[in-house]
């Protein structure tokens, strides 16, 4: 089961996974033990309480996780990555820098839009740039743990494919861990 942390826009993500449950950031910690993976959703109105609940969950993770929009921002900040202050919700070109399980079957360049619009300016040394736009790092992953972040909305064909790839990654992870 994939646990979706609903930061306000999580309901749309439930359609993208076969077995998914929605939980508020306040109640999610209790349900982590039954989850195979976690998805941190985007939100429309970020606040410090929401961020602190999400950070507490990220700090306890021992299973694969992906952050979307605000969720990716919180994951990045939890590991001391610098996030841009300016938001770019408009369409922007993405350039893939290296391989990732999220990008299987996708082109090296594509257009993304939406999300909270804040890309990562500087990653911590434990993270790898997967894809960038003129705004900064839009897709990243931890080099040791199964943690991923995408700064844009997964509503596009490419975004949907990335979430499908994440679900496949989770199935493989379960077999070997």
Q: Output the pTM of the full model.
A: 0.94
Q: Yes or no: say if 17 and 2 are a contact pair by the CB < 8 Å rule.
A: yes
Q: Yes or no: say if 166 and 104 are a contact pair by the CB < 8 Å rule.
A: no
Query: What pLDDT score was predicted for residue 117?
Result: 65
Helices 70-78, 48-60: axis angle to 10 degrees equals 60
Query: What pLDDT score was predicted for residue 12?
Result: 86
Query: What pLDDT score was predicted for residue 135?
Result: 85
- Residue 71 CB burial class (10 angstroms; 0-12, 13-18, ≥19): buried
The per-residue b/e assignment along 72-84, b for 16 or more CB within 10 angstroms, e otherwise, is: bbbbbbbbebebb
Paired with 4 in beta bridges are 22, 39
Query: What pLDDT score was predicted for residue 87?
Result: 62
As for how many domains the chain has, the answer is 1
**CATH number for the domain harbouring residue 142:** 3.40.50.880
- Residue by residue, pLDDT tens for the chain (177 residues) are 999 999 999 998 988 898 999 999 999 988 999 999 999 999 988 888 999 999 999 999 999 999 999 999 999 999 999 998 766 678 889 999 999 999 999 999 999 887 766 789 999 999 999 999 988 899 999 999 999 999 988 988 999 999 999 999 999 999 998
Domain containing 68 equals 2-176
């Amino acid at each position: 089961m994939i646990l979706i942390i609903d930061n306000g826009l999580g309901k749309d993500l439930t359609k993208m996974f076969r077995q998914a449950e929605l939980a508020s950031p306040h109640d999610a910690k209790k349900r982590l033990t039954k989850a195979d993976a976690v998805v941190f959703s985007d939100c429309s109105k970020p606040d410090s309480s929401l961020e602190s609940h999400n950070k507490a969950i990220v700090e306890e993770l021992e299973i694969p996780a992906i952050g979307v929009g605000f969720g990716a921002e919180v994951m990045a900040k939890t590991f001391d990555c610098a996030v841009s202050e300016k938001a770019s919700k408009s369409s922007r070109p993405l350039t893939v820098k290296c391989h990732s399980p999220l990008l299987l079957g996708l082109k090296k360049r594509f257009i993304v839009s939406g999300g909270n619009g804040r890309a990562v300016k500087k990653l911590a040394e434990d993270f790898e740039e997967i894809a960038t736009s003129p705004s900064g790092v839009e897709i990243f992953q931890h080099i040791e743990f199964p943690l991923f972040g995408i700064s844009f909305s997964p509503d596009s064909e490419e975004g949907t494919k990335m979430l499908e790839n994440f679900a496949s990654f989770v199935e493989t992870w379960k077999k070997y861990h």
